[in-house]
Amino acid sequence: MPKLDESLLSGLPPFSRLSRPQIREILDQARTQRFEEGAEVFGEGLEATHFYLLLDGYLRVVRTTPGGEQIIVLHISPGQLFGIAAALQRDTYPATAVTAAESIVLSWPSHLWQGFTAQYDGFATESYKTVGQRLGQIQDTMTEIATQAVEQRVAAAVLRMVNQSGRKTKEGIEIGFPVTRQNISDMTGTTLHTVSRMLSAWEKDGIVRSTRKHIVVTAPHRLVEISGH
């Protein structure tokens, strides 16, 4: 891939306080990779050899429960660091990262993490802020699964994706990456049959429109009411 320009990173939180020469130093140590939709960037429990930045595309973060069930605990948008096990003082990845759409990723060897956080102003504080937000999101998801009714959970999951990636269309707000009913099932700890039945009912009520891998929310306020948020 051609050499990346520093302006790609200059507006992103971990790099916002850095000069262009400093960003150049960081970019020169990065590897650029392109992943097809559905590719695994790294797996839960594997050695954390690298940390990453998502330049383009979307990622699903998947965790395995003690019972062996896989749950999508959050999505990652362009411009965000991920796979930062070193920030959690871990040697292994705490979850699996799978591309939700074709994605372009920068990666650095994990041994550079400590130097980056010590050397570059704002890199550490913004990165640890990201970690805190992610842990909060994961906790919210797990709490919803444990305490909320299924319809509330599914509505909350769809709203999270809309808030993160939604784009306005003539029909409503479209989720910006491919999403299947199985994905929503994996996000909410419910069955594929239940999710399909629910989306079909919402479609009849004019709340959503769903086709293969695409969901448009046509009545966001109704979905907010259902979610109880």
Q: How many beta carbons lie within 10 A of that of residue 49, not counting itself? A: 15
* DSSP states of the chain: -PPPPTHHHHTSGGGTTS-HHHHHHHHHT-EEEEE-TT-EEE-TTSB--EEEEEEES-EEEEEE-TTS-EEEEEEE-TT-EE--GGGGT-SB-SSEEEESS-EEEEEEEGGGHHHHHHHSTTHHHHHHHHHHHHHHHHHHHHHHHHHS-HHHHHHHHHHHHHHHH-EE-SSSEE-SS---HHHHHHHHT--HHHHHHHHHHHHHTTSEEEETTEEEES-HHHHHHHHT-
Fold of 7-145: Jelly Rolls (2.60.120)
pLDDT per residue as tens digits for the range 182-221:
999 988 989 999 999 999 999 999 999 988 889 999 999 9
* Confidence (pLDDT) at 2: 59
Provide CB contacts within 8 A for 185, sequence distance 6+. Answer: 191, 192, 194, 195
* Confidence (pLDDT) at 164: 83
7-145 matches 149-227 in fold: no
pLDDT per residue as tens digits for the range 128-187:
888 888 888 777 887 777 788 999 999 999 998 998 888 899 989 999 899 999 999 988
pTM: 0.81
Q: What is the average pLDDT across 68-82? A: 89
* Confidence (pLDDT) at 144: 79
- 149-227: CATH architecture: Orthogonal Bundle (1.10)
Q: What is the average pLDDT across 23-30? A: 93
- Is the confidence at residue 1, as pLDDT, over 80? no
Q: Enumerate the domain spans of the chain.
A: 7-145, 149-227
* Confidence (pLDDT) at 58: 94
